[in-house]
Amino acid sequence: MYMKNITQEVSEHVIEETLRGIEIPSPPQLIIDLQTQMELPGVKIETIAELIRKDVGISGKVIKLINSPFFGLCSKVTSINHAINLLGLQNIINIVNSIVLPQSFNLHKLTEMTRFWDNATDVAMASIYISRVMGIAVPDEAYTLGLFHNAGVALLIERFPKYLALLKLAYSEQNCRVTDIENHKINCNHAVAGYYVAKSWKLPVHITEAIADHHKTQPIFSNKIPCEEDKKNLLAILKLAETICKTYKTFGNEATDYEFENLKDDLFSYLEISEYEFEEMKAEMLDIGITH
């Protein structure tokens, strides 16, 4: 074991110094335009569709993703308008986000990061399903948290050449928070780095805060630290989605999700579900192709 029961917080000033020189990606113009349109009263489908269609590469990827087995559509989608009519505006914007977010980071790291972005997309998809099935949180917000929650990993890879090895070590610890190991070694962690990415993309405050706190969930669900209900519900969904999609294996190559094992009794109590019900949910998600 590396260290036991360490809890180390790092000041905001130290974190800002650690991240100095790293360019935190801003949303591309397409996302800014879409956000602007969605804030207007009486937003028009054609306006959103036209914005997406202007970027041929993005629109092609949107249609390809929608036609994938995950969505299980009876007929093929052939246009952005058709996609919006079938899935709704916010779902299409979520899909656009999932495509453009990885592209916003350093291009020479994209190949190295592919499996991490794939996992983020899986977690986002699983989060929508869990939110709908359990009837808690807003599904689109659950998706957004799932997609963005580990975006800080990409930032820290740019800053620290051996960061992935550190992250693997952090996920191997049974008695420490992942972020405590990161704080101890580099005076920063991927949760707070992801918080800065989310702020740059102008995500809602409770989502940015959930990103910052997504490895503080054990004291949150044991009621040792206070947490607003909307954020707590999103974090509950995220923790289920992460373990179902094996984030612990993607980042740490571990056979066990130690964080979830330490958390699950309090989490299941908060959600009022049993281990059996959770296993049933996992099986259902596997059957419909959300997890693999």
Q: What DSSP letter does each residue of 222-252 carry, written as one string? A: TTSS---HHHHHHHHHHHHHHHHTTHHHHHH
**What's the one-letter identity of residue 184?**
H
pLDDT score for 1? 41
Domain match, 204 and 123 both: yes
Task: Quickly count helices (H) and strands (E) in the chain.
Answer: 18, 0
Q: Which of 70, 104, 138 is the last residue of a domain?
A: 104
Quote the domain boundaries for residue 188.
108-292
Domain match, 120 and 261 both: yes
pLDDT score for 103? 85
Domain match, 60 and 123 both: no
pLDDT band at 8 (very low <50, low <70, confident <90, very high): low
Domain match, 65 and 124 both: no
- Please determine, for residue 5, whether its predicted confidence score (pLDDT) is greater than 80: no
115 within a domain of the structure (yes/no): yes
The Cα–Cα gap between 134 and 234 comes to 12
Question: Averaged over 118-124, what is the pLDDT?
Answer: 92
- Please determine, for residue 2, whether its predicted confidence score (pLDDT) is greater than 80: no
| More confidently predicted of 253 and 107 | 253
225 CB-contact burial (10 Å; exposed 0-12 / middle 13-18 / buried 19+): exposed
The fraction of the chain above a pLDDT of 70, given in percent, is 91
Q: What is the pLDDT of residues 19-40, one digit of tens each?
A: 776 778 889 999 999 999 998 8
- Domain tally for the chain? 2
The Cα–Cα gap between 212 and 52 comes to 30
Domain match, 59 and 95 both: yes
- Please determine, for residue 274, whether its predicted confidence score (pLDDT) is greater than 90: yes
pLDDT score for 37? 92
- Please determine, for residue 270, whether its predicted confidence score (pLDDT) is greater than 80: yes
Q: Which of 104, 128, 144 is the last residue of a domain?
A: 104
Q: How many CB atoms sit inside 10 A of residue 108's CB?
A: 8
3 within a domain of the structure (yes/no): no
**CA angle 136-142-148, nearest 5°?**
160
- Please determine, for residue 17, whether its predicted confidence score (pLDDT) is greater than 80: no
Domain match, 265 and 166 both: yes
The CATH number of whichever domain residue 188 belongs to comes to 1.10.3210.10
The Cα–Cα gap between 91 and 75 comes to 18
- Please determine, for residue 285, whether its predicted confidence score (pLDDT) is greater than 60: yes
pLDDT band at 232 (very low <50, low <70, confident <90, very high): very high
Domain match, 189 and 266 both: yes
Q: How many residues does the chain have?
A: 292
Question: Averaged over 233-257, what is the pLDDT?
Answer: 95
Domain match, 45 and 182 both: no
63 within a domain of the structure (yes/no): yes
pLDDT score for 16? 72
8 within a domain of the structure (yes/no): no
DSSP 4: S
- Please determine, for residue 61, whether its predicted confidence score (pLDDT) is greater than 50: yes
- Please determine, for residue 255, whether its predicted confidence score (pLDDT) is greater than 80: yes
pLDDT score for 237? 98
pLDDT band at 11 (very low <50, low <70, confident <90, very high): low
The Cα–Cα gap between 146 and 143 comes to 5
Domain match, 112 and 192 both: yes
Domain match, 194 and 100 both: no
- Please determine, for residue 230, whether its predicted confidence score (pLDDT) is greater than 70: yes
5 within a domain of the structure (yes/no): no
Question: Averaged over 257-285, what is the pLDDT?
Answer: 95
The Cα–Cα gap between 144 and 251 comes to 20
- Please determine, for residue 10, whether its predicted confidence score (pLDDT) is greater than 70: no
Q: What is the mean pLDDT of the chain?
A: 88
Domain match, 154 and 268 both: yes
Question: Averaged over 9-25, what is the pLDDT?
Answer: 73
Q: What is the DSSP string of 183-222?
A: HHHHS--HHHHHHHHHHHTT--HHHHHHHHTTT-HHHHHT
Lowest mean pLDDT among 67-81, 86-100, 113-127, 147-161: 67-81
pLDDT band at 289 (very low <50, low <70, confident <90, very high): confident
Domain match, 99 and 119 both: no
pLDDT score for 108? 55
